Chain A
Amino acid sequence: MPVFKTPFNGYSVKFSPFYENQLAVATAQNFGILGNGRVHVLQLGPTVTERAAFDTADGVYDLCWSESHDSLIVAAIADGSLKIYDSSLPPAANPIRSLHEHARECHGVDFNSVRKDSFLSASWDDTVKLWTVDRPASVRTFKEHAYCVYSAAWNPRHADVFASASGDCTTRIWDVREPGSTMILPAHEFEILSCDWNKYDDCIIATASVDKSIKVWDVRNYRIPVAVLNGHGYAVRKVKFSPHRGSLMASCSYDMTVCLWDYMVEDALIGRYDHHTEFAVGVDMSVLVEGLLASTGWDELVYVWQHGTDPRAP
Chain B
Amino acid sequence: MESKPSTTPSSFIDQQVFPGDVVLDLSKMANQTIKLGGGLRQDGDVISVMKAGKLRFSKPNKYWVESSNKRYVPSAGDNVLGIVVDAKADNFLVDIKGPTLAFLPVLAFEGGTRRNIPKFEMGTLLYVRVVKANTGMNPELSCMDASGKAAEYGPLKEGFMFESSTGLSRTLLSSPTCPVLETLGKKLAFEIAVGDSVEEHTVMATPSDAPPSSTDEKPQNPVSQVTQPSNDDRQDTKVEGVKESSPTSVFVNSEPIREEQVQNAVKFLSHPKVRGSPVMYRRSFLERKGLTKEEIDEAFRRVPDPTPAVATTQSVVTNQDGQIKSSSNGQQQPPAQVLQPTPVGPVGSSSKMGILSRFHWYHAVFAVGFLAVSGAGTAVLIKNAIVPRLKSWIRKVASEEDEEGPMKENNAKPNVAEEAAAAAKAAAAAAADVARASQDILITKSEEKRYFEELINLLNVQTNEMKSMSNAVQKLEGGQSINGRITVEEQANQRVSRTSSRQPYTNGKADADSSSVRSLSPPAPVEPSAAPHPKSYMEEINDAPPNPNQPVSNPRLAPKPKPWESNQAQNSSLTTFQSQESSNGSNYGDNQLNGDDTLPWWQRKNVRITEIETADEQKFGSPNLPSNERPVQRSSWVPPQPPPVVMPEAAAAIRQPKKSSYLSDDQLLSQSTDVTDELQRITKISESGGAVDANGQISGLQSAELPQEENGSYLET
A residues neighboring B (CB under 8 Å): 1-2, 17-21, 29, 33-36, 44-46, 54-58, 67-72, 77-80, 83, 86, 88-89, 92-98, 100, 103-105, 113, 116, 124, 133-134, 136, 146-148, 156-158, 161, 167-170, 173, 175, 177-178, 180, 182-184, 186, 199-201, 203, 219-220, 223, 243-248, 262, 264-265, 267, 269-272, 286-292, 304-309
Contact = CB atoms under 8 A, between A and B. Distances in A.
Given A57-B541, A79-B530, A168-B288, 19 more contacts: A57-B543, A58-B533, A68-B559, A93-B550, A96-B545, A103-B119, A113-B562, A168-B287, A169-B288, A170-B287, A177-B248, A178-B252, A199-B562, A270-B646, A270-B654, A271-B650, A289-B602, A306-B606, A308-B606
Contact of B555 (A71, A148, A246): A71
B628 A265 contact: yes
A113 B559 CA distance: 10
Given A57-B535, A80-B529, A270-B651, A44 B289 contact: no
Nearest to A266: B714
Contacts of B562: 17, 113, 156, 199, 243, 287
Interface stretch (B436-444, B631-639, B701-709): B631-639
B293 A98 contact: no
Interface string B547-591: 110101101110110111101100000001000100110010000
A177 to B, nearest CB: 8
Interface residues of B, number: 87
A88 B553 CA distance: 9
Interface in B622-675: 628-630, 632-633, 636-637, 639-641, 643-647, 650-651, 654-655, 658
A289 B599 CA distance: 12
Given A44-B602, A103-B119, A86 B552 contact: yes
Interface in B478-502: none
B590 to A, nearest CB: 15
22 contacts: A1-B602, A19-B557, A19-B587, A36-B539, A45-B600, A46-B601, A57-B542, A69-B555, A79-B531, A88-B556, A93-B550, A94-B546, A105-B531, A148-B115, A156-B564, A168-B288, A182-B249, A184-B287, A201-B637, A219-B251, A262-B628, A286-B602
B522 interface: no
A21 B252 contact: no
B463 interface: no
A19 B583 CA distance: 9
Nearest to B639: A245
Contact of A304 (B288, B565, B602): B602
Interface string B226-258: 000000000000000000010011111100000
A146 B280 contact: yes
A267 B283 CA distance: 37
B364 interface: no
B564 A83 contact: no
B573 to A, nearest CB: 10
A45 B599 CA distance: 11
A29 B538 contact: yes
B284 interface: yes
Contact of A182 (B253, B603, B637): B253
A15 B16 CA distance: 79
A293 B387 CA distance: 76
Contacts of B633: 200-201, 246
B538 A34 contact: yes
B627 to A, nearest CB: 8
Contacts of A56: 541, 543
A288 B583 contact: yes
A306 B119 CA distance: 45
B541 A36 contact: yes
B89 interface: yes
Contacts of B293: 180, 184
Contacts of B116: 148
Contacts of A289: 580, 602-603
B406 interface: no
A134 B654 CA distance: 49
Nearest to A17: B560
B114 A98 contact: no
Nearest to B716: A270
Nearest to A148: B115
B292 interface: yes
B717 interface: yes
Nearest to B284: A146
Contacts of B290: 186, 223
A58 to B, nearest CB: 6
A50 to B, nearest CB: 16
Nearest to A55: B541
Contact of A98 (B530, B548, B556, B650): B548
B125 to A, nearest CB: 20
Contacts of A93: 546-547, 550
A58 B529 CA distance: 14
Nearest to A248: B643
A57 B541 CA distance: 5
A302 to B, nearest CB: 13
B544 interface: yes
